[in-house]
Amino acid sequence: MTGFPSLADQPWFAASGVRKVFALLDRDGEEARVIGGAVRNALLGRPVHEVDFATTATPKVVTQRAAAAGFKAVPTGIEHGTVTLVIEGRGYEVTTLREDIATDGRHAVVRFGRDWQADARRRDFTINALSADASGHIHDPVGGYDDLVAHRVRFIGDAATRIAEDRLRVLRFFRFHAEYAEGPLDAAGLSAAMAARNDIRDLSAERIGQEMRKIVVARRAAEVATEMQERGILGIVLGGIGYLAQFARAIHGESGVGAAPVVATRLAVLTCRIEEDIVRIAERLRLSNLERDRMLATLAAAGSFVPPPGERGARAALYGLGPEAYRDGVVQAFAWSDVNDPPLWRSLYTLPDRWTAPRFPLSGRDVMASGRERGPEIGVLLRAVEAWWIGEDFAPDETAVRARLQQMLAAQQ
């Protein structure tokens, strides 16, 4: 197809940092183009968050030019030709054109080149080979634009060959489908992915985890997770089954309240029922400590909503958990609950938007000021007063809370 839309008028394309990368690399016999997700999203009218470049310049030339211009160059993937330029506080990945000259399905030996067509042929999907030059003109060497418009994800050339070059493409196939496609999975791609599914076992946990993070928050995450489980792929990735019905219900619930998807909470619903599940999945997917801890907090918080509390109980839960764990717990509990009352769950989830938990007006110093010596009894007494205050639905003011403390102190004498 010809007559592609131009990206020249897009605000992100005209941004200062993007123009500086072009000015740095698109001259003196070298060419640079924006490639990948930024081009795809822009053509689909979606937000553009990251801007990556491909260039004929070698990593050495990229680094030298960056240094001369006063920009920081970080060798983030130098063995594969990738340098990250830091300009105006933002990172731009720049990768030299290349060809794979040897691969074992996990690692590739590359040769740098200057042939845009050859570089396109070594990529995975047709929509991943779209690029835009400095003028905003779209280059489409393998028919990716038609596939993008049709919401279709296809491998470039023979699907089995592309997967043999990098087994991670089994998961990338499902991830790209979840993000960009409509309708059924491409038959040739699906057949090749199923044939190669056991090869996933040879991939590093880090690479698998990176793809799963993106799959669970993708636009069609629930449908694609189901496809992966039915095709025997999700079980290999997780070392067990995924809770598909609960996962779909959680996503539907999030949509109903306009909640942004979060990796940790989505994974908690899909993979975990008990704490041991979280420990296992965190290790299997090499999740960060923050992700693991949020999953644990999600599972613990869900208990506050079984059964779903009324408004008063919800306020107590929000006070104790804080807004983040509270909302995560509501999502997890909703996913597993047999209480089919959408307005109730929506009201629970949106409580932090309507009510801010007050601060408990006393501290340990207030107890000691009443004559008690420092020690564990201080905390016990303080928690007892706080529990009374919570039980009164936070209504007593500071004067009433101090009076309650004095009553408790008197009762102990």
In a shared domain, residues 137 and 156: no
In a shared domain, residues 102 and 178: no
For the chain (413 residues), the mean pLDDT of every run of 10, in chain order, is 84 97 97 97 96 97 97 91 96 92 61 92 95 97 96 97 96 98 97 97 96 98 98 96 97 96 97 96 97 98 97 97 98 96 96 96 86 80 95 96 91 77
Quick one: which of 84, 90, 99, 97 has its CA closest to 15? 90
Q: Report if residue 167 sits inside a domain.
A: yes
Q: Report if residue 175 sits inside a domain.
A: yes
In a shared domain, residues 262 and 344: yes
| C-alpha neighbours within 13 Å on the C-beta side of residue 234 | 22
Q: Report if residue 209 sits inside a domain.
A: yes
In a shared domain, residues 129 and 30: yes
Quick one: which of 128, 121, 133 has its CA closest to 56? 133
In a shared domain, residues 5 and 75: yes
In a shared domain, residues 145 and 20: yes
Contact between residue 139 and residue 5 where contact means Cβ atoms under 8 Å apart: no
Q: What pLDDT score does 119 carry?
A: 93
Q: Report if residue 238 sits inside a domain.
A: no
Last residue of a domain, one of 118, 135, 150: 150
The CA distance from 385 to 81, in Å, is 63
Quick one: which of 151, 295, 123, 146 has its CA closest to 219? 151
In a shared domain, residues 19 and 132: yes
Please calculate the CA angle 112-115-117 and round it to the nearest 5 degrees: 125
Q: Report if residue 344 sits inside a domain.
A: yes
In a shared domain, residues 15 and 95: yes
Q: What pLDDT score does 207 carry?
A: 96
DSSP run (H or E) holding 52:
strand 52-55
CATH number at residue 166: 1.10.3090.10
Q: In which domain, by residue range, is 82 found?
A: 1-150
> Which DSSP category does 13 fall into?
T
Give 10's contacts (C-beta < 8 A, 6+ positions apart).
42, 48, 136
Last residue of a domain, one of 178, 199, 233: 233
In a shared domain, residues 5 and 145: yes
In a shared domain, residues 276 and 213: no
In a shared domain, residues 212 and 83: no
Please calculate the CA angle 285-289-293 and round it to the nearest 5 degrees: 100
Q: What pLDDT score does 3 carry?
A: 77
The CA distance from 327 to 274, in Å, is 19
Q: Report if residue 220 sits inside a domain.
A: yes
In a shared domain, residues 199 and 121: no
Last residue of a domain, one of 150, 183, 201: 150
Distance of CA 32 to the CA centre of its chain: 29
> Which DSSP category does 185 fall into?
P
Q: Report if residue 64 sits inside a domain.
A: yes
Q: What pLDDT score does 105 carry?
A: 54
Q: What pLDDT score does 111 carry?
A: 82
Give 79's contacts (C-beta < 8 A, 6+ positions apart).
110
The CA distance from 211 to 188, in Å, is 21
User: What's the total number of domains in the chain?
Assistant: 4
Q: What pLDDT score does 106 carry?
A: 58
Quick one: which of 364, 369, 371 has its CA closest to 385? 364
Q: Report if residue 138 sits inside a domain.
A: yes
The CA distance from 211 to 169, in Å, is 10
